[in-house]
Copies of this chain bind each other. A is one copy, B any other.
Amino acid sequence: MITDKLIEKIIDLQNPTCVGLDTLFDYLPDDMKADVNSFEGVAERVFDFNKKLIDTLCDIIPSVKVQIAYYEMYGVAGMKAYEETLKYAAEKDLVVIADAKRNDIGSTAACYAKTFLGETDVNGLQKQAFPADYVTVNGYLGTDGIQPFVDECESKEKGIFVLVKTSNPSGAEIQNQVLESGVPMYEYMGGLVEKWGESTIGKYGYSAVGAVVGATHPTEAARLRKALPHTFFLIPGYGAQGGNAEMLKSCFGANGLGGVVNNSRGILCAYKKQGGTFYEAARAATIAMQKDLSSVIGVMKK
């Protein structure tokens, strides 16, 4: 059960951190960028960068989140680097979150679910396209657009994170709209997420159907933590977006469980502030983040 696996890694490492491999080519050191003039060249260097980061961090972090937009923008070659990054992170036993925010009607959602969580049939042969442990999804199309993902969660021991309360400022335009019932949209969406997860609750009490809850919204996060006892949170917005440890404390329960906190630019680009190699700086930034989180979240011991 994937959320159990993620939680166990968090407990073992005493670190609820997820490193976001939002590897924009511009983030790479100058010497890795020189002479590149094609998508193929970019893809090769981005994968080299990711590989070195994964090698450097895999003993101290439980998971990576790989944002597909930063690969797709380099075309087919970029998608090859995406596939390679997902697979390399899995080889290093990291819990891999494909951040793709997929959404569509049921028949199409079933294709997305196979792409990221299951297998694609080719004349009876089962093949993996972009394999991950979790994929992020957008719930605007309701249950029939989510159920195909839940089916894969059940049969393949995979997970999803559904957008509930996003970290960006404008999310409130939709997500904080108050319904006639008095409940804001994000909490209503959260209620659906809790329901979608009912069939996959693991031994720590959290299901395979998680929620994206931004570190930048502590009030909403506190409401959601209380309303969604079985929902594990993927928490973006720490660092570059303005979230800090104190703000995201309310996402966690008394045992220090309940979520994983993503940091992308703060780790990938740490070398630009701190100097040194990108991977040494990334390791130092990751350790600093773990200490910062530990100062407010006491992850339970084994």
Contact of A122 among B37, B108, B129, B168 (CB under 8 A): B37
Contact yes or no, B22 A108, CB < 8 A: yes
User: Chain A: how many interface residues by the 8 Å CB criterion?
Assistant: 72
- Scan A71-95; emit 1 where CB is below 8 A from any B CB, else 0: 0111110111001000000000000
Contact yes or no, B171 A111, CB < 8 A: no
A250 CB–B CB distance under 8 Å: no
Contact yes or no, B130 A142, CB < 8 A: no
Contact yes or no, B101 A69, CB < 8 A: no
Contact yes or no, B172 A73, CB < 8 A: no
A205 CB–B CB distance under 8 Å: no
Number of copies: 2
A170 CB–B CB distance under 8 Å: yes
Contact yes or no, B138 A140, CB < 8 A: yes
A139 CB–B CB distance under 8 Å: yes
- Scan A228-241; emit 1 where CB is below 8 A from any B CB, else 0: 00000000100001
* A225 to B: closest C-beta gap in Å: 21
Contact A170-B189, Cβ < 8 Å, known A39-B122, A75-B129, A122-B25: no
Q: Which of A18-77 contact B (CB under 8 A)?
A: 22, 24-25, 33, 36-39, 41-42, 67, 69-70, 72-76
Contact yes or no, B122 A38, CB < 8 A: yes
Contact yes or no, B141 A72, CB < 8 A: no
List chain B residues, Cβ under 8 A from A266.
none
A14 CB–B CB distance under 8 Å: no
* A85 to B: closest C-beta gap in Å: 12
Additional A-B contact list (12), CB under 8 Å, known A73-B120, A178-B180, A179-B180? A36-B122, A67-B108, A69-B112, A73-B129, A75-B120, A76-B80, A103-B103, A138-B138, A141-B168, A143-B173, A177-B180, A185-B185
A-B contact pairs, 24 of them (CB 8 A): A39-B122, A41-B122, A67-B108, A69-B108, A69-B109, A69-B111, A72-B111, A72-B115, A73-B120, A75-B79, A76-B83, A101-B104, A103-B103, A138-B140, A140-B166, A140-B171, A142-B173, A142-B174, A143-B170, A144-B169, A173-B192, A174-B189, A179-B180, A180-B180
